[in-house]
Amino acid sequence: MVAGHAPATSPPVDGLHEAHGGLWIFRVNLAAMECVWSAKEWGACDMPLLDLIPDSAGVIDDYGGALQVDFANAFVGGGVLSGGCVQEEIRFAQCPDLVASCLICEAMRDGEAVILRGGTRYSKTRGYAFGLQYDGPFTSPQPDPPFLTAIDACDYRGWGSDNLRHQLDQSTMLRELEKARAGFSLQYFENTRDFLGAVKDRPGFVATGHWGCGAFLGNKELKALEQWMAASACGMCLQYSTFKDLEFAQGLSQVVDELRQQGTSVGRLWSALASLSKLERTAKLEQPGSIFSCVKSLIAIQTEVKISNHGEARDRRLKTGSACLEKVGGTLREAEEERRERQVPTDDRAEGGGRRDVESVRQEAAERTRRDQQDHRRRYEEKERERNALLVEETRRHKAKDRVVQDPASYLRPVMASNEDARHRSKSSAAQRETDQPCDRETPEQTAVKMSGVNSSTKPRARLEKW
């Protein structure tokens, strides 16, 4: 989104071009856009590694049509207002319009970057850090406002001997890759009219250098490879300024040429770097050129394994094809024997009969195939009917069980009603018997008088006690 837009027009100054004015500030958050990549997604990325051009003479500011990288602090601008004098502070001092972003931008989190467009350059400088000096006004024409992407690297100070091991950790490399990818993702703003209104096309390449390799003690070789991967994943070429380090420029150029000749993808380079993270000892990798050499060796091994796998797959395909040919040949031989048994002539005069015989064989085969398909369909439909019946029965039982659990009274009410009807019918039948035979039944007094003289062990006495 647009975080800030401050259009302004400065009056011309003697010896200076007319200032463009205006500052566009965009904050890129990969998590908010739901496009964060994991280690698996980086390993599966089949984007080819695009061109990378090392330059030992130029600096980032020389490439006006590029997306220029600002080696930023987590707080954009860093120490520009408190005496800072490294890459970011120098750029903000040359282009004071950029200082407005310090008021707008919060601290950047992982997977976030700030992309700035605008910021007219007014001055030139020479030297670096404590040797920085003003070198006069900047009078070169600036046809379009430059693009600047602010990305903050990890700070590896304080790790001591485990510095490189920590940098090669997969979680650390993923953090740096996602940070660089957020900063290089200009394709997310292709349809932003205000952001790209003054230029016809977005920058097609990135101008960068030793990102995070100064005060933060980052490894130059690893940082160059990480930025190369992120730029290629975003479809951007890379212009890499080595700041007068000719030896590093030559080594980087050699690595780029070899990997691109082998058709290396972003995913394969990530796999090579992930293999380096599994090394127990990383002291030898601290020597100049060691990481480049290891990466080239690992990529060569991956290429050999890929070629051998293709060879094995080709052998398997050949074996399968031979088996199929043998099977087809056996079928043809059987058909030939059957034809001979039928005594079908094979000379030119009986060519029509031979064709008719082949046609009949084809028809029989088609008929057998049709019958097999019908049998298979019938068996499938029978199984489907059985399965549906079982499902219906199971559903019915579950519904009945749920009805009992939810409302037991509704389930027991018919049973209780039937029991009540049975008791009512029993009482009605007993009353009917008493009405029909009133004289056959003795009263209790008559029974007591009759049994008064009988022994208690006799059967009438037992009947009386039972009564």
Catalytic (active-site) positions: 70, 88-89
User: Tokens in use for 412?
Assistant: 């027991």
The gap from C-alpha 98 to its chain's centroid, in whole angstroms, comes to: 36
Query: Sign of the C-alpha dihedral, residues 419, 421, 427, 432?
Result: negative
Determine the Cα–Cα distance for residues 272 and 63; give it in Å rounded to an integer: 31
User: Tokens in use for 310?
Assistant: 């293709």
- The radius of gyration computed from the CA coordinates of the chain, to the nearest angstrom, equals 46
Closest alpha carbon to 339 in 326, 325, 324, 353: 353
Determine the Cα–Cα distance for residues 111 and 9; give it in Å rounded to an integer: 34
Q: At what angle do helices 290-341 and 246-261 cross, to 10 degrees?
A: 10
Determine the Cα–Cα distance for residues 242 and 226; give it in Å rounded to an integer: 15
Angle made by CA atoms 22, 24, 30, in degrees to the nearest 5: 175
Amino acid sitting at position 213: C
Determine the Cα–Cα distance for residues 427 and 441; give it in Å rounded to an integer: 18
The H-or-E segment that residue 6 falls in is none
Contact yes or no for 96/8 (Cβ under 8 A) = no
Q: Other CB atoms closer than 10 Å to residue 65's CB: what's the count?
A: 15
Closest alpha carbon to 180 in 226, 116, 148: 226
Contact yes or no for 302/271 (Cβ under 8 A) = yes
What's the first-to-final CA gap in the chain, in angstroms?
Answer: 100
Q: Other CB atoms closer than 10 Å to residue 304's CB: what's the count?
A: 10
The gap from C-alpha 270 to its chain's centroid, in whole angstroms, comes to: 16
